[in-house]
């Protein structure tokens, strides 16, 4: 679709399911590039807070030059049900599912979406570890399903991992590539596997970094500084963990552990203790670091 007035996503309509950290971040990215977004979540409080969070992300993105010059923001509407927001007069160009990293929850949402949208509408599961073919089993039209792994925050990180399942149609892949291009994102397409590329490499490494802290070898800041200064990691594994969300990290590690048998993917005790204590990282205000007043 042609850009209008420097707005690359003009004319597109995106439904985003889940108004948590990733769903809101993806919505902010899309709105900032002129895409109209319907944001859906069953949690009334989270849904009510989402426009303010998205507005803050858009202001940050503009300050950092992460949005196209002259772009007219896309409209944002919120609702508790996709059925209430999907109409024959204005069907979504694509649907992005960004609910919790739980296979059963995702499978149910994807099955419901498949029954609501027209055949040929790309249905995109944003997941950090769950195999797309596993989720496709819940859908009447697995040809319409494809995976993405946006990195947090989506409005700043330009590369997106795209996961092609064995049933994913070429039209679905082409449509997702076109959507990401309109969002000025680079898509890297990989085949399906637990954790794909990024999480299969990164998440066990973070788990090992937490083990180093738990053993008392070094504190979190020292681990991150060494990984940054010696090995070129942009933020360090433990700041990255806080950005991902320690609860999301634990969920992804369990997915990897159960599907690969790799014991290095079993979440370490310190990580589990922090999640039980509600220290989830940046979004809760505390993880391996303190984030006073910075909750997402």
pLDDT digits (tens, 9 = 90+) for 169-217: 999 999 999 999 999 999 999 999 999 999 999 999 999 999 999 999 9
**Number of domains within the chain:** 2
Q: Is residue 257 annotated as a catalytic residue, yes or no?
A: no
Residue 163 DSSP SS3:
strand
Domain co-membership, 231 together with 169? no
Domain co-membership, 104 together with 217? no
Cα atoms found within 13 Å of the Cα of residue 77, Cβ hemisphere only: 14
Domain co-membership, 246 together with 265? yes
Cα–Cα dist 232/19, whole Å: 33
Domain co-membership, 102 together with 217? no
Domain co-membership, 156 together with 85? yes
Domain co-membership, 218 together with 280? yes
User: Is residue 295, in this structure, part of any structural domain at all?
Assistant: no
User: Is residue 91, in this structure, part of any structural domain at all?
Assistant: yes
Comparing CA positions, the residue from 145, 157, 146 lying closest to residue 183 is 157
Which two three-digit tokens encode residue 187?
Answer: 């898509």
Domain co-membership, 220 together with 132? no
Whole-structure pTM over 0.85, yes or no?
yes
Q: H or E element: which one contains 124?
A: strand 123-126
Degrees, nearest 5: CA angle 21-246-106: 55
Question: Which is the catalytic residue, given 33, 56, 149, 257?
Answer: 149
pLDDT score of 283 more than 70: yes
**What pLDDT does 257 receive?**
97
Indicate the range of 2-11, 107-116, 184-193, 199-208 predicted with least confidence. 2-11
Segment 254-260 shows an average pLDDT of: 97
**What pLDDT does 1 receive?**
42
Query: Residue 102 sits in a domain of what CATH number?
Result: 3.40.50.720
- Mark which of 191, 210, 230 sits at the end of a domain: 191
**What pLDDT does 2 receive?**
41
Residues 72-99 pLDDT 10s: 999 999 999 888 777 656 789 999 999 9
Segment 207-233 shows an average pLDDT of: 97
Domain co-membership, 25 together with 102? yes
Domain co-membership, 241 together with 212? yes
User: Is residue 216, in this structure, part of any structural domain at all?
Assistant: yes
**What pLDDT does 7 receive?**
72
pLDDT score of 5 more than 80: no
Name the residue range of residue 221's domain: 198-284
Q: Please report, for residues 29, 133, 236, 253, the alpha-carbon distance to residue 36 in angstroms, rounded to integers and kept in the order given.
A: 11, 29, 35, 34
pLDDT score of 292 more than 90: no
Cα–Cα dist 97/99, whole Å: 6
| Phi and psi at residue 114, to the nearest 5° | -60, -35
User: Is residue 35, in this structure, part of any structural domain at all?
Assistant: yes
Is residue 18 very low, low, confident or very high in pLDDT (cuts 50, 70, 90)?
A: very high
User: Is residue 291, in this structure, part of any structural domain at all?
Assistant: no
Which two three-digit tokens encode residue 64?
Answer: 């950092």
Domain co-membership, 33 together with 169? yes
Domain co-membership, 239 together with 165? no
- Mark which of 191, 221, 255 sits at the end of a domain: 191
**What pLDDT does 6 receive?**
62
- Mark which of 191, 207, 236 sits at the end of a domain: 191
């Amino acid at each position: 679709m042609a850009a209008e007035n420097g707005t690359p996503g003009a004319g597109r309509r995106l439904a985003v399911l889940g108004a948590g950290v990733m769903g809101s971040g993806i919505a902010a990215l899309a709105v900032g590039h002129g895409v109209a977004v319907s944001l859906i979540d069953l949690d009334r409080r989270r849904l009510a807070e989402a426009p303010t969070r998205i507005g803050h992300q858009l202001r940050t993105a503009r300050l950092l030059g992460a949005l196209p010059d002259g772009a007219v923001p896309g409209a944002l509407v919120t609702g508790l049900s996709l059925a209430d927001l999907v109409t024959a007069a204005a069907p979504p160009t694509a649907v992005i599912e960004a609910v919790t990293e739980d296979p059963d929850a995702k499978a149910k949402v994807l099955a419901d979406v498949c029954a609501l949208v027209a055949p040929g509408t790309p249905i995109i599961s944003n997941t950090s570890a769950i195999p797309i073919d596993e989720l496709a089993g819940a859908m009447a039209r697995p040809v319409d399903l494809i995976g993405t792994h946006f990195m947090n925050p989506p409005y700043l990180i330009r590369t997106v991992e795209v996961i092609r399942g064995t049933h994913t149609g070429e039209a679905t892949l082409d449509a997702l590539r076109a959507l990401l291009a309109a969002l000025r994102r680079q898509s890297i397409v990989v085949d399906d596997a637990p954790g794909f590329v990024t999480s299969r490499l990164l998440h066990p490494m973070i788990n090992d970094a937490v083990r180093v802290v738990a053993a008392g070898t070094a504190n979190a800041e020292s681990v991150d500084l060494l990984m940054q200064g010696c090995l070129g990691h942009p933020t360090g594994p433990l700041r990255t963990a806080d950005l991902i969300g320690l609860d999301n990290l634990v969920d992804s590690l369990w997915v990897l552990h159960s599907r690969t048998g790799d014991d290095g993917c079993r979440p370490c005790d310190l990580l589990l203790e922090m999640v039980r204590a509600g220290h989830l990282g940046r979004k809760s205000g505390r993880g391996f670091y303190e984030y006073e007043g910075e909750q997402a």
